[in-house]
Structure 1
Amino acid sequence: MPADLPPRRRPIEGTGLNILLLTSEFAPAMGGIGTYAREIAAAASRLGAKVTVVAPDYARQTADDDRSLPFEVARYSGGLHSMRDMPRKIMLTRRGVRGDRYDVIHAADWPFFIPVALSRWRTPARVLMTVHGTEINETQTPLKRMAIRGAGVFGPRTEVVANSRFTETLFRERFAVDPRRISAINLGVSEYWFGAPRKRREVRLAYRLAEDRLVMITVARITRRKGHHLTLAALSRLPDDLRNRITWLVVGPDGEADYVSGLRRDAEAAAACDIRFLGPQSNEDIRDLYAASDFFCLTGLPDTSGRVEGFGLVYLEAGAAGLPSVATDVGGVPDAVLADETGILVPPSAESISQAIAELAADRDLRAILAAGASSHARALSWERCAATTYGLPYTGRQASAARNIGLTA
């Protein structure tokens, strides 16, 4: 192996690995990258590492919440990333890298790729950069590619971590980087989602769901690429007797206004179909709703804008709660939903989705088999595994301390 390639995820003896993780998204803002940064930092801390997270403050007082975390949070003034912020992030990263003797410098998302690359020569630490999917396409503009090349972002000593096999392949197609410095490491799921919710009967009574109802739940922002309209079209294709037995719970905030209004209008016109838009819910309420449901359904589709589903963490959270999934074979979803093991994976078409819903709704034994598989798959993909594989920390395959899992989702 050439001298400029650092050792790849070799277990480090003992504890005390010092990690600096920089992210442009973090609590209290909601987002998948923020979840990733928070959970991998907490898991690495549970495995014995010292972790410092550098994150924006969103012009809010966060000190009390930050003190409750098992790692240090250093806030900088700012919010969601804008290219105007790049000079400040470069200076911030240079100061951060000089601030301690770090063993690992980790850019959790692309806004810190250039700042970390420009500070690489200031530290002997391993340099990691995580790609999540969509940003790989978004950085293909001539100006951004020029900036990436000029800063030597993916140059010597930089290791690239992709959140799925799909994201790894997409990155390889877009950037000429030594494949030995690229790895696919699936995300994890918090122990929180395995926790005890309210009793199924209690939740069903609260939401006026009869015991004989088949309850299908979707948790996602209501946006075109998440494919709610495909699920609705699939329901309309079901036989009347089956459609009459199904309640579809739609959980999540609104996306594009025209798409949401059209979806709600079509849902109201759907014949003999009980569809309930519940809006955004707390994690506690989502976990309760999982307990009241029979299976999960999220049917994303390819997006011409370049946005992709890099992984699909919500499928794992539903699986941890004991729900099999109906999912579409797009992006990195096949790493989150194992076909015919944890759910039914189909092409993004109304007909295919309808057949999958019918199959899962009609067969209680199949639901039970896939639910067991979904729970087992979610258990295997812990955040401790993700952190250990990413940073090279010792890992026994067990949760280090379940009580300290954070348990928040995007």
Structure 2
Amino acid sequence: MPNNRVLLIASNFPPVLGGSASVYMNLASCAPDDILILAPSHNYLDDTPIDGWREHDRQAPYHVSRLPLLRTLMTPRPPGAAARIGFLLADLALRARVLARVLGLVAFRGVRTVCIGELLAMGWLARLLQFVPGVSTAVYVHGEEITTADSYDPRHLRARQAMQHSDVTIVVSSFTLEAVRALLGPEHRKPVVMIQNGVNTHVFRAAGKPERLVARHGLEGRFTFLSVCRLVEKKGIDNAIRAFRGVAAVHPEARFVVVGWGEFEARLREIAAEEGLDERVIFAGRVADEDLADYYRLGDVFVMPNRRMPDGDTEGFGLVFLEANRCGLPVVAGRDGGSTDAVQDGLNGLVVDGHSVPAIATAMRALAEDPALYDRLRDGGLKRSAEAGWEGKARAFLEALRPAGRTPRFNMTALALSLPLLVLALPYLLLLRLNGAAHPPDA
């Protein structure tokens, strides 16, 4: 068993879907002997069991350790002093259980680096683990966690402190790198390493349109625009549908397939109806993992004109752009956030102002009407995505973490002696939380 393993801690991990969950799964899949996972078995939104987690863990090539929860439930703060104290005691017990599991993996599974994949809710671990001999820490930053306005912590002190107490910070894009540097300031001397997100080049690859899906959605002979994403406002699917109205007026045979689900879906359906596109915009909903690549192949052009929201929330990178490229689709992306790391305008797609419906429509029409442009961007996308395989990203990830260790040798005796200090530090962290320096229960 390796004695320098990385423990990657993530509340969002498969079978939960999402960009960060996909990142962590792919890293672990490419280095199963080097990376262990600590993830929850229950949803932190409502404490319900995550569907299919046992089946996922049995089939995974990497080791997954599960606790019911890794972070406090997202529930309103309890009213009254007694309820508040009870909540804090329960939170202390949860943190103690997480810490005990981490230390167990350090002691018995060869873990020497702990990478925290949820900066705000799990950053407290970085403070404690700095006192564990022979163990280094890292945080994985995607972007929105430090760019979205937070009324509870407007200066993002929680994020800054977690990064300051970690030995290395991993960021996924140039946009995130700039945001991290601005937050930490020029006096920060610990390494900040950019590892752009990748694509599974084995699962996602160009092929013909799947006949069963073409038939299911009535797409025979139709030029198809495609979106695959969580249906939230920042992804820009609302403006893409509005832009599609002008495209459909010129190309009535065209269709727009929207794959995904989320709280914005009802509004997107309303917009399609308002634009008179009920029959031309197809909401495919949530699709099985094994069908996702086929849904990409169903399209001719991928469209996700992401934009920055008023509260600062925006796209940290955009895994879906490379997945679409790998399946042979040129893409239309918004220029806000980190999407320009994934999409280079004129190389593997067109980058537009995601706030501008006319700009989005112009890009969509250009790819539908200009075969030379289409072929050039399609070829560029295939080349760009082929160079972004997860195998190389996993190697870069492990290389970035291994020099971070403060102590070259791990000592069980020193670990045992440090346990009382760690136990005493847990109530201290809760006191900091009461003063606003840690994540609130409804964060």
Counterpart-to-counterpart distance in 2, 1:76 and 1:252: 28
Tell me the SS of whatever aligns to 1:237: helix
Match of 2:384 among 372, 377, 380: 377
Match of 2:344 among 335, 338, 349: 338
Counterpart-to-counterpart distance in 2, 1:179 and 1:358: 48
Aligned to 1:350: 357
Percent of aligned pairs sharing the same letter: 23
- Can you list the C-alpha shifts for 1:351-405, whole angstroms capped at 9, x where unaligned? 11111111110022322221121122112111122111121189xxxxxxxxxxx
Change (3 A) 1:132 1:264: same
- Within the alignment, does 1:51 sit opposite 2:51 as a pair? no
Q: Answer with 74-83 or 244-253: which moved more.
A: 74-83
TM-score, normalised with respect to structure 1:
0.81
Q: Answer with 256-265 or 161-170: which moved more.
A: 256-265
Aligned-pair CA distance for 1:175 = 2.7
Counterpart-to-counterpart distance in 1, 2:321 and 2:135: 34
Residue 163 of structure 1 contacts residue 310 of structure 1 at CA under 8 Å; is this kept in 2? yes
Tell me the SS of whatever aligns to 2:162: coil
- Can you list the C-alpha shifts for 1:98-156, whole angstroms capped at 9, x where unaligned? 4344232111121222113311210323321011111113585448855567xx52336
Aligned-pair CA distance for 1:225 = 1.6
Aligned to 1:404: none
Q: Answer with 251-260 or 119-128: which moved more.
A: 251-260
Aligned to 2:102: 96
Counterpart-to-counterpart distance in 2, 1:196 and 1:162: 29
TM-score, normalised with respect to structure 2:
0.75
Alignment of 1:122-161 (within 5 A): 122-138=132-148, 141-142=152-153, 145=156, 152-155=161-164, 158-161=167-170
Aligned to 1:29: 16
Q: Answer with 155-164 or 342-351: which moved more.
A: 155-164
Counterpart-to-counterpart distance in 1, 2:156 and 2:245: 45
Alignment of 1:5-404 (within 5 A): 17-45=4-32, 49-58=33-42, 59=49, 62-78=53-69, 81-82=72-73, 87=92, 88-89=94-95, 91-97=97-103, 98-100=106-108, 101-110=110-119, 111-138=121-148, 141-142=152-153, 145=156, 152-155=161-164, 158-176=167-185, 178=188, 181-195=191-205, 199-201=209-211, 203-211=213-221, 213-238=222-247, 240-242=249-251, 244-256=252-264, 259-267=267-275, 269-270=276-277, 274-348=280-354, 349-392=356-399
Aligned-pair CA distance for 1:282 = 1.9
Aligned-pair CA distance for 1:207 = 2.9
Tell me the SS of whatever aligns to 2:31: helix
Amino acid at match of 1:308: T
Q: Answer with 344-353 or 120-129: which moved more.
A: 120-129
Aligned to 1:3: none
Counterpart-to-counterpart distance in 2, 1:175 and 1:202: 51
Counterpart-to-counterpart distance in 2, 1:391 and 1:90: 28
Residue 25 of structure 1 contacts residue 80 of structure 1 at CA under 8 Å; is this kept in 2? no
Aligned-pair CA distance for 1:232 = 2.0
Q: Answer with 335-344 or 111-120: which moved more.
A: 111-120
- Can you list the C-alpha shifts for 1:317-357, whole angstroms capped at 9, x where unaligned? 11111111011111100111121110011112111111111
Change (3 A) 1:80 1:364: farther
Counterpart-to-counterpart distance in 2, 1:287 and 1:44: 23
Residue 7 of structure 2 contacts residue 111 of structure 2 at CA under 8 Å; is this kept in 1? yes
Change (3 A) 1:275 1:155: closer
Change (3 A) 1:50 1:286: closer
Tell me the SS of whatever aligns to 2:111: coil
Tell me the SS of whatever aligns to 1:221: coil
Residue 226 of structure 1 contacts residue 300 of structure 1 at CA under 8 Å; is this kept in 2? yes
Residue 93 of structure 1 contacts residue 116 of structure 1 at CA under 8 Å; is this kept in 2? no
Tell me the SS of whatever aligns to 1:260: helix
Amino acid at match of 1:188: G
Aligned to 2:429: none
Amino acid at match of 1:130: Y
Aligned-pair CA distance for 1:202 = 5.3
Cα RMSD over matched residues? 2.9
Residue 316 of structure 1 contacts residue 378 of structure 1 at CA under 8 Å; is this kept in 2? yes
Amino acid at match of 1:366: L
Tell me the SS of whatever aligns to 1:191: coil
Tell me the SS of whatever aligns to 2:140: strand
Q: Which has the larger radius of gyration?
A: 2
Q: Answer with 74-83 or 325-334: which moved more.
A: 74-83
Tell me the SS of whatever aligns to 1:281: coil
Tell me the SS of whatever aligns to 1:153: helix
- The unaligned stretches of length 5 or more in structure 1 are 1-14, 395-410
Change (3 A) 1:210 1:135: same
Aligned to 1:407: none
Residue 328 of structure 1 contacts residue 345 of structure 1 at CA under 8 Å; is this kept in 2? yes
Q: Answer with 325-334 or 15-24: which moved more.
A: 15-24
Aligned-pair CA distance for 1:191 = 2.9
Residue 144 of structure 2 contacts residue 314 of structure 2 at CA under 8 Å; is this kept in 1? yes
- The unaligned stretches of length 5 or more in structure 2 are 43-48, 75-87, 402-443
Counterpart-to-counterpart distance in 2, 1:115 and 1:16: 21
Aligned-pair CA distance for 1:198 = 6.7
Aligned-pair CA distance for 1:64 = 3.7
Aligned-pair CA distance for 1:239 = 7.6
Change (3 A) 1:66 1:340: same
Tell me the SS of whatever aligns to 2:17: coil
- Can you list the C-alpha shifts for 1:54-85, whole angstroms capped at 9, x where unaligned? 11011357334212212211101127754768
